[in-house]
């Protein structure tokens, strides 16, 4: 229970820090595309899909990927059409969204645990 509560928020937070470091630090390393790919594909979506408490793992992952790509795309489309193209700002927003979702996961999970403890 504890592991499942902390696992995704930790993964999302670590991924956000990792992608932030390599992009804002202008690190030209072969690991940069891998971290960027992982972060953009999974993290923004998983940060919020976990809040829906979907039982089936493959369905949860599919929705997380769909939501991640959708959030990334909406952000990119707004930047392109509004002529506000700034990939670093975009990444900053995505990191913020992911961290917010991860924090919400921890808060809601803790509330649930407290509620269960009170009932017992």
Partner 1 sequence: MGQFTDMNGNIRTNRDGLGQSGRAYAAQNRVSAVARRWPRITATFHASAESISSWMPVGGPLALVLCAMVLWSASLATINPRNITDYGLVSALPLLFYIALSLLTVSFCVVVHQRQVPAPVLFLHVVALIVMIHGTLALVYQAPRYSWTYKHIGVTSYIQSHGSIDPSIDDPYHHWAGFFALSALFNEIAGFDSAFSYAIWAQVFFNLLYLGALLLIFKSCTSDQRLIWLGVWFFYLTNWIGQDYFAPQAMTYFFHLVILGVCLTWFKVLASPSEHPVRRWPVLAPLAAWFQKIISHIAPNGAPDTVSRPIQRIGVMLIVVLSFFIIVSSHQLTPYMTIASVLVLVAFRRSSTRTLPILMGVLLMTWTTYMAIAYLSRHNIWYDSFGLLSSNVENSLTDVSRSSPGHTLAVFTTRALTALVWGLALLGGIRRLRKGYWDLSIALLALAPFPISALQSYGGEILFRIYLFSLPGMVFFAAALLYPSPDSGRSWRTTAVTVLASCVLLAGFSFAYYGQERMNRFTKNELDAAQYLYQTAPPGSLVLQATFNFPSRFQANYDQYQYPTLTELDLINKHNGTFNIDHIADYMDRHKYPAAYLILSRSQKEHAELMSLLPVGTLEKLEETAMRSEHFQLIFANADARIFTLADDANGAGK
Q: Rounded to an integer, what distance in angstroms lies between the CA atom of residue 19 and that of residue 58? A: 25
- Helix 31-49 vs helix 2-24: angle between axes, to the nearest 10 degrees? 140
Asked if residue 53 binds partner 1 (CB under 8 A), the reply is: yes
Using the rule CB under 8 A, give the single segment among 10-18, 77-85, 98-106, 109-117 that binds partner 1.
77-85
Asked if residue 102 binds partner 1 (CB under 8 A), the reply is: no
- Which one of 16, 23, 47, 99 is in contact with partner 1 (CB under 8 A)? 23
Q: Rounded to an integer, what distance in angstroms lies between the CA atom of residue 59 and that of residue 47? A: 15
Asked if residue 83 binds partner 1 (CB under 8 A), the reply is: yes
Contact 71, 94 (CB under 8 A): yes
Asked if residue 40 binds partner 1 (CB under 8 A), the reply is: yes
Using the rule CB under 8 A, give the single segment among 2-10, 54-62, 98-106, 111-119 that binds partner 1.
54-62
Q: What is the 3-state secondary structure (H, E, C) of 71-94?
A: HHHHHHHHHHHCCCCCHHHHHHHH
11: left (phi over 0), alpha (psi -120 to 50) or beta: alpha
Q: Can you give the binding site for partner 1, defined by CB under 8 A?
A: 19, 23, 28, 32-33, 36-37, 39-40, 48-49, 51-54, 56, 58-59, 61-63, 65-67, 69-77, 79-81, 83, 85-88, 90-91
């Amino acid at each position: 229970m504890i592991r499942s509560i902390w696992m995704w928020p930790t993964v999302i937070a670590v991924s956000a820090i990792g992608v932030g470091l390599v992009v804002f630090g202008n690190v030209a390393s072969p690991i940069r595309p891998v971290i960027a790919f992982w972060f953009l594909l999974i993290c923004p979506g998983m940060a919020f899909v976990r809040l829906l408490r979907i039982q089936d793992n493959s369905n949860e992952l599919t929705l997380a990927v769909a939501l991640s790509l959708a959030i990334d795309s909406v952000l990119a489309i707004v930047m392109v059409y509004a002529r506000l193209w700034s990939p670093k700002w975009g990444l900053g927003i995505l990191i913020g969204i992911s961290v917010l979702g991860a924090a919400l996961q921890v808060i809601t999970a803790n509330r649930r645990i407290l509620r269960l403890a009170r009932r017992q």
